[in-house]
Structures are given as structure tokens and as C-alpha cells.
Amino acid sequence: MFKTVLGSIGIVAIVLLTAFILIYNKLVRIKNLVNEAWSGIDVQLKRRYDLIPNLVATVKGYSSHEANTLERVTQLRTIAMRATSISEKTDAENNLTTSLKSLFAVAENYPDLKASHNFANLQTELSNIEEQLQLARRYYNAVTRDYNSSIQVFPNNLIANFMNYKQQAYFEVNGDTERETPKVSF
């Protein structure tokens, strides 16, 4: 009888340990997917940050008295590059997008600038980057949703709490500053 009880306890312990290992490994895999997805966003943001100085320089060459707009875009680019948390990055990116829209509105007032081959190429490149950024953001948010759900359901939440797994923030567009692909007009 004692061996039966010990055997039953052993089986239960093995089942619990196996469940713990399986759940832990699943959470690690999903957490790694979240990190990978954020890396995809980071790559697109870097491409965007690298393009902005060229865009500003091109506009500056055609419109010397639009210094405030150009300076604002440059400042917001710096703030966005320095943002560390996802919520800081989201706010900074929304502000930068609004500022870029202002920059393109300024460009509308300069027919020579709009006709510039260099400016048109930069606009097209920015449009492509924005599209890739939207796809990366969508993937990141989907993986983050799966991760957040995984750490909230029972019994995963027990292990997630024990391992100090925290919910991840979504990389969202804020209401009025909707990220639209910049309009390329010739």
C-alpha cells in the first residue's frame, strides 16, 4: 500500500513537472517571438530615421524660410530614436508622423520641390518604409496578443507569475495621429 501511494505521488509529480516544463517552454517561445517582432519594427524605424535627414535636407534646399518645420522634424526624429519603452516609442512615432505630414504640406507650396526627382524618390521610399512598418507593427501586435493571452490563462498564469513574466504593450497608433502612408503626388 505504501508503494502504491509513493508510486501515485511519483506519477503526479512527473505529470506536474512535465506540465511545468511544457508551459514554461511555450512561454519562452512566445516571448522570443515578441522580441523578434519588435526587432522587425526597430529595423523599419531605423530605415525611417535614416531617410529623414535626406528628406529634410532636400526640402531645406528649396524652402529656406520653413526652418521651424524642418527643425521640428529633426527634433522629433531624435526623440523617437532615444525612446526606450514601447509606450515612449509609440508617442514619439505618432508625433514624428504628424510632423512629417506637416513637412509634406510645406512641400505642396513649392512646385519646384514637388517636381524634384530626388524629393519624389524620397517620398516613394518613405511610403515603402511606412508600408513595411505597418506590416511589422501588425505582426508585433498579433504576437503580443498571443503572448499576453498565454500568460493570463490558467495554469500558464501560475508559471508566468512565478517567472515574473509581464504583459507587453502594443505598438498602437493614437487616434487622431493616424499613420497614413504619405501621399506621393507629382
How far, in Å, CA of 115 to CA of 103, rounded? 16
- Angle in degrees, 0-180, between the axes of helices 86-107 and 67-82, rounded to the nearest 10: 160
For the cut 70, the answer to whether the pLDDT of residue 114 exceeds it is no
- Angle in degrees, 0-180, between the axes of helices 86-107 and 2-62, rounded to the nearest 10: 20
Q: Are residues 83 and 154 in contact, defined by beta-carbon separation less than 8 angstroms?
A: no
Q: What is the pTM of this model?
A: 0.74
Q: Which domains does the chain have, with CATH numbers?
A: 2-177 (1.20.1440.20)
The per-residue pLDDT for range 20-50, each reduced to its tens digit, is 999 999 999 999 999 999 999 999 999 989 9
pLDDT confidence band for 175 (50 / 70 / 90): low
Q: How many CB atoms lie within 10 A of CB 90?
A: 19
- What integer is the mean pLDDT of 132-136? 92
